[in-house]
Amino acid sequence: MAEIVLIRHGETAWSRAGRHAGRTDIPLTSHGEAAARSLAGGLAHRPFGLVLVSPLARAVRTAALAGLPSDDRDPDLVEWDYGEFEGRTTPDIRRDLGDPGWSIWDARIGPGSTPGEQPDDVADRCRRVLARCAPVLASGRDCALVAHGHLLRILTATWLDLAATCARLWALDAGALSALGHEHEQRVIQHWNVPAPAADG
């Protein structure tokens, strides 16, 4: 049965440092570019019926290096808008708030340089993306989505008909591949967080 292949963009300086990178347009590191290139061989044999890519540069570049022609740069695939927490790490936020248990999954996201989104707002965008995939999957063709860590985790929760915050339960590394599909009629995770093949050199 057809699958939705999820590709998280390659490493950036902010992903390496654990900084929340929502709408800030950060380029790939050289390691991120190498990892994205290494995906091409494994994806080349799949004739995707639809390829959707976040319009942020790190996702666009990952798709190009992985050999995926983008059918559309879909704004619904941009990363979670972290608002006031953009660019900050969890340890820094915990220290500044005096809250050792703070988590982005439980926080009320206030505005910063951008308005900010709550997890359910991200899930609403994910539902629109999945609706775009539905007729392609029904025709028996695979879809590919090239986007961001938290967005793809929330999209997975949405696929499984779970609350957006359940996405806290599965990690997704930069440059990794995952796949969503079906077991009989049940929506399932087929593969998760498969690392990019080691790049030569």
HEC profile of the chain: CCCEEEEECCCEHHHHHCECCCCCCCCECHHHHHHHHHCHHHHCCCCCCEEEECCCHHHHHHHHHCCCCCCEECHHHCCCCCHHHCCCEHHHHHHHHCCCCCCCCCCCCCCCCCCCCCHHHHHHHHHHHHHHHHHHHHCCCCEEEEECHHHHHHHHHHHCCCCHHHHHHCCCCCCCEEEEEEECCEEEEEEEEECCCCCCC
Catalytic sites, residue numbers:
9, 79
Give the per-residue pLDDT at 199.
57
Q: What are phi and psi of 110, to 5 degrees?
A: -95, 170
| pLDDT (tens digit per residue) in 16-75 | 999 999 999 999 999 999 999 999 998 988 889 999 999 999 999 999 999 998 778 999
Amino acid type, 175:
G
Backbone Cα Rg of the chain: 16
The tens digit of pLDDT for each residue in 92-130 reads 999 999 999 999 999 999 999 999 999 999 999 999 999
| Residue 119 confidence (pLDDT) | 98
Residue 167 has pLDDT above 70, yes or no: yes
Q: Read off the pTM.
A: 0.96
- pLDDT of residue 136 exceeding 60, the answer is yes
